[in-house]
Amino acid sequence: MSFLALGVRLGNLHLQRAIVGVIFGVIGYGVARAGEVDAGHSYENFLLLIGYWITPFLGVIVTDFWLRRGHYDEREFFDRRHNTFAGAAAMALGILVSVPFWNQSLWHGPVVDALPQLGDLSFIVGFVVASVVYYALSRSARSFSTERAPATS
């Protein structure tokens, strides 16, 4: 359903749900079968991969909350014209820049290989890069104009 929330349209609503359910069910089955061989390490790698995208996501969310000072106009959530590119771009760049710092059995980044005493810094790097990029993009686009912010007393 999260995939459909991105705005992907495949027909009427019932057909969309069925198609997405089947496609992602097959993908999930394939991933589950691939992880059967060494379930413990596969699960650990899965959790690390989730962490690698969650921390840049949180960087965008925390920065957005800070920029807006916690004030959100609820109408923005339902306005299809309000589709900012800054959040997705900042998150993607945060993930991409953190890859050299990954430290797991699927991928050892060059920074981890060169400086193993530092450990896995990808979470910090992803968060900081996503935050800085989101701040820069949102400020340059002037997406946080004063007329949208509620008056404070």
Q: What is the pTM of this model?
A: 0.66
State which of 2-11, 69-78, 89-98 shows the largest mean pLDDT. Answer: 89-98
pLDDT digits (tens, 9 = 90+) for 3-53: 655 566 666 777 887 888 888 889 888 877 877 777 777 788 888 888 888
- Using DSSP's 3-state secondary structure scheme, residue 104 falls into coil
For the chain, the domains span 1-34, 39-153
In angstroms, the CA 17 to CA 111 distance is 43
The whole-number average pLDDT for the span 80-89 is 75
Range with the poorest average pLDDT among 24-28, 87-91, 112-116: 112-116
- What b/e sequence results for 106-116 when a residue is b if at least 16 CB atoms lie within 10 Å of its CB, and e otherwise? eeebebbeeee
pLDDT of residue 62: 92
Structure tokens at 36: 């059967």
